[in-house]
Amino acid sequence: MRSLYHLLLLCASCTAALISTRSHAVTIPAAAQDGPSTVGTTYQGYGLDGPKVHPINSTVFDWWYFDAVSADSLASITIVFLADSPTAFPANINGSTVLDAAVSGSFANGTTFYLNTYPAKAEITSAGYGSHGQWGSGRGWTGTADAKTWEIYYDSADVGVKGSMCLESIAPPHLPCGPVKQGAIEQQMPHVGWANVVPDAIAHVEFKIAGESLQFSGPGYHDKNWGDQPWLASINSSYWGHSRLGPYSVVWADARDPEGKEYFSGYVAEGGKILSASCALNSVMVRPWGGDSTYPPVLGQGDPKGFEVTFSVEDHVMRINVTSSLVVAGDPGVYTRFIGSSRGGVCWGAAACVEPSLLPPYREHCHGGML
């Protein structure tokens, strides 16, 4: 899927005036539909967090991703509402449905969990930059039109999960190549769309997982991905991540297609303003270190210990070293999601880097072009 870190910001009073009030609603049945799908590739001025693929057939995917990690990097939660088939995305192991509400994460003691439920239908309504989604009864999210406030809830006695996560955004949304504006490209790379609606947030988490309490506050995040063909037909390897480093919010994506071409998307924000949001060549560079750090990664190799992430920010360079502390989900040799710590700073020319205070990152990476 991706590797992990984040950043961006805009004037709230200015952006609010530009947000369209147009709404759009879609219902997704559990069965894959026949025939071709309509897939969004450019931002139309509305529906930033709305459905981008309709209908969901057996080769396309569309999903909404939310995560949070505690300030001490010990506890975490990820909730993903997916619409895809096993053909479109291999993480879907239930061939009888395209709908999956997945919740995973870690307790402070290092114990991890991964649970799924499969609703009969899903309903999504978008308005402004926000959206409202329901994956059956008791599972879904609500985001305000300005994308500032979000509640993600999950209540399922079948898998023993009940609770909610609240996000208060502190960084404005962006698209792969820059700020959100009508006509902007929504593709991170050919066939893969990405809208980072909440690059950074203050998260408050309160859940019961199999009777055990999961409560914490820390950095939060929300984005969505979609595609017009199976994931593995589009991506050979991918690193994605997000972090808050002192006053900076940062997000990165660095991926290769099956032909080996590399695609970049880097985002950095500070104090409510975007410092950098670009998909230009080397706008961000992510490389693994330690452990099995072969690059480009190949199917079946082990995990690195961390990543070196370098952003180009105007006439500056931001360098971040990310260290993994706990694998929270994945398929060994194919896909890994983990939490950890980040350390780095901003450099001017040959001068020494200025290192801000540290906060934890949340990141994931996958590799290989086939299963």
Of 357, 359, 335, 341, the residue nearest 80 (C-alpha):
335
Q: At 266, is the pLDDT very low, low, confident or very high (cuts 50, 70, 90)?
A: very high
Report the candidate in 265, 255, 240, 243 with the shortest Cα–Cα distance to residue 320: 243
Most confident of 9-13, 287-291, 332-336: 287-291
Cα–Cα distance for residue pair 137/134, rounded to 1 Å: 7
- Give me the CATH topology for the region 12-367: AttH-like fold (2.40.370)
Euclidean distance between CA atoms 250 and 171, whole angstroms:
10
Structure-block tokens of residue 212: 């055990």
What's residue 348's pLDDT?
Answer: 66
Q: Using alpha carbons, list the distances in angstroms from residue 145 to 17, 65, 271, 319, 365.
A: 11, 18, 22, 34, 31
Q: What percent of the chain is predicted at pLDDT more than 90?
A: 79
Per-domain residue ranges for the chain? 12-367
Closest C-alpha among 147, 175, 149 to residue 164: 149
Q: Does pTM top 0.75 for this prediction? A: yes
